Amino acid sequence: MDINNIYRKTAHGLDEMQARKMALKPAVRRTLILVDGRKSIEAMMPLFRDPNDAEVVLVELLQLNLIEQIAEAETTPSPLEDINTVPAPVENRSEDAAATRNPAQRFMDGQKFMNNAIRENLGPIKAVFFTLKIEKCNNVDDCLALLDEYQAALAKAIKDDAIAASLRRKTERILRP
């Protein structure tokens, strides 16, 4: 979950604010109140009692369909976007653009994309352990060697082999020249 993303309450979330039918935990309810469709998560961080729990609570609100993302950080596409809506990989845009992506940039972009996909799909505890594996990678080849395990972890968490395979292909397009 990127801290630059902006979320708003869904119709279900607005109903829950009035009716209080779901008996939300206090931290979850407070966060639902904070989400206003104008501020990014980063801007809301000082308002959280424990900023470390912010991501866990926001994921719970998303899973309960009480909030929805309305604006995304410009750095990395969401891994669950339809493959046709993701901008074309740099290497397909032009030869000049592909030439500007050196191995270090491909590595950083690929590592960031992998981390985002893992965090958004595995849950907070499992994501930490897999993120550590990704962070141990020192170059593009290390990331490429991790792709089988990455795809398997995503497939298990998402319960959809096609989405996991799509995320792997996107990752490979980012990492390869």
In tens, the pLDDT along 116-170 reads 888 888 877 778 888 888 888 888 999 999 999 999 999 988 888 888 898 899 9
Please identify, among 71, 106, 124, the residue that sits at the C-terminal boundary of a domain: 71
- Sign of the dihedral through C-alpha 47, 49, 50, 55: negative
Q: Does 164 share its domain with 98?
A: yes
Residues 24, 66, single domain; the answer is yes
Whether 159 is covered by a domain: the verdict is yes
Query: What does the block give as tokens for 56?
Result: 């866990």
Domain assignment of residue 57, given as a range: 6-71
pLDDT at 144: 93
> Does residue 82 fall inside a structural domain?
no
Give CA–CA dist 139/155, Å, rounded: 24
Looking at every residue in the chain, the average pLDDT score rounds to: 78
Q: How confident is the model at residue 93 (pLDDT cuts 50, 70, 90)?
A: very low
How many domains does the structure of the chain reveal?
2
Give the mean pLDDT of 79-97: 41
Q: Do 67 and 139 lie in a common domain?
A: no
Confidence class of residue 86 from pLDDT cuts 50, 70 and 90? very low
d(CA 57, CA 63): 10
- Of 71, 100, 119, the residue that ends a domain is 71
pLDDT digits (tens, 9 = 90+) for 12-32: 999 888 888 998 888 888 888
| Euclidean distance between CA atoms 156 and 160, whole angstroms | 8
Mean pLDDT for 109-116 is 87
Residue 120 and residue 65 share a domain = no
Whether residue 105 sits in one domain with residue 65: no
Note whether 121 and 45 are same-domain residues: no
